Amino acid sequence: MRAEIESRIQEVTNEAARTIHARIAMAMGQIQPVAIPINLLVQPSTLLQNPAPVSPPPVVDAGPASTPHLPVSVSAEPPAPTAPKVLPVMTEQETEDPPVPLEAVSTPTAQARPNDAETVSEPAWEDPPLRESRPASGGAGVVAVVPSSPKKSRLKITVVGLKPGQAHMIKNDFKLIQLNFVASNSGNSSQLTALSKSNDRVIFMTDFISHKSVDVVRAANGRFIYLAGGMTALREKLHGLNREHLASAEICDDSTPPPSSR
């Protein structure tokens, strides 16, 4: 059984080889040779190397003698035609360009001088100026050094009535403000009471809040604002409150009297 299968495979292989060889021979028989005329291999410049000399016009003499002067360069016999030159056929190896040595290739960056590079220098961070303060009584020889411009505290605001997705967007937009968010149905919660005492402002979104939340903030003596208009109005209000907070902090720094030195 195995020998029969192998013989069958060999017959199929031989039949395929004969078919392929027959097709190749048929395709080779259809290829026609291309005849190139010999005059196409001759350059036009070779035909004009030895042109026939042109005779100059005869010189007319105004003297008494009327014999014409023949040109000296005129020859009696015409020049023999020259055979056209046939250029030798170059092989594929001769037509290739010679390799270029690596040493001859030079990039402009390799020849650049180190002084041509542009140097970028960033200003160094400078600490705020320091001022000296002396104690009012006792310790005359002790001098305390304190910074002249203390760090400004961040504005603290609580927003009541935003959804979790809206609160996340507002928190990403105002990273310089310490924001706290309370749900609209918080009511009388201890968190809202603590935030009303510690934060600067409480903003109520009038579309979502309940009256119990307002009573809690009012009882804690907190400063609250009613705001309508959605997210756009809230962004504008936060920008305005932040500007007022920064301006008031600068005024407090300027109005602080310098320490007296005794």
Residue 128 has pLDDT above 50, yes or no: no
Dump pLDDT digits (tens) for 151-166: 568 889 988 888 888 8
Token readout for 198 is 């510690």
In this prediction, residue 5 carries a pLDDT of 94
Of residues 24 and 29, more confidence is placed in 24
Half-sphere exposure for 32 (CA within 13 Å, toward CB): 3
Mean residue pLDDT of the chain comes to 69
Residue 107 has pLDDT above 90, yes or no: no
Token readout for 162 is 């935003």
**What is the distance between the alpha carbons of residues 195 and 182, in angstroms, rounded to a whole number?**
10
Of residues 88 and 23, more confidence is placed in 23
Taking residues 82-109, report their average pLDDT.
55
pLDDT above 70 coverage of the chain, percent: 46
Residue 116 has pLDDT above 50, yes or no: no
Half-sphere exposure for 129 (CA within 13 Å, toward CB): 2
Residue 13 CB partners (closer than 8 Å, separation 6+) = none
Residue 177 has pLDDT above 70, yes or no: yes
Q: Give the residue extent of every domain in the chain.
A: 156-255
Total-model pTM: 0.38
Q: Which CATH number fits domain 156-255: 1.10.15, 3.40.50, 1.10.260, 3.40.190?
A: 3.40.50
Under 8 Å between Cβ of 200 and 153: no
In this prediction, residue 121 carries a pLDDT of 39
In this prediction, residue 7 carries a pLDDT of 93
In this prediction, residue 213 carries a pLDDT of 75
Grade residue 193 by pLDDT with cuts at 50, 70 and 90: confident
Grade residue 203 by pLDDT with cuts at 50, 70 and 90: confident
**What is the distance between the alpha carbons of residues 31 and 135, in angstroms, rounded to a whole number?**
112
Taking residues 239-249, report their average pLDDT.
87
**What is the distance between the alpha carbons of residues 205 and 183, in angstroms, rounded to a whole number?**
11
**What is the distance between the alpha carbons of residues 105 and 142, in angstroms, rounded to a whole number?**
72
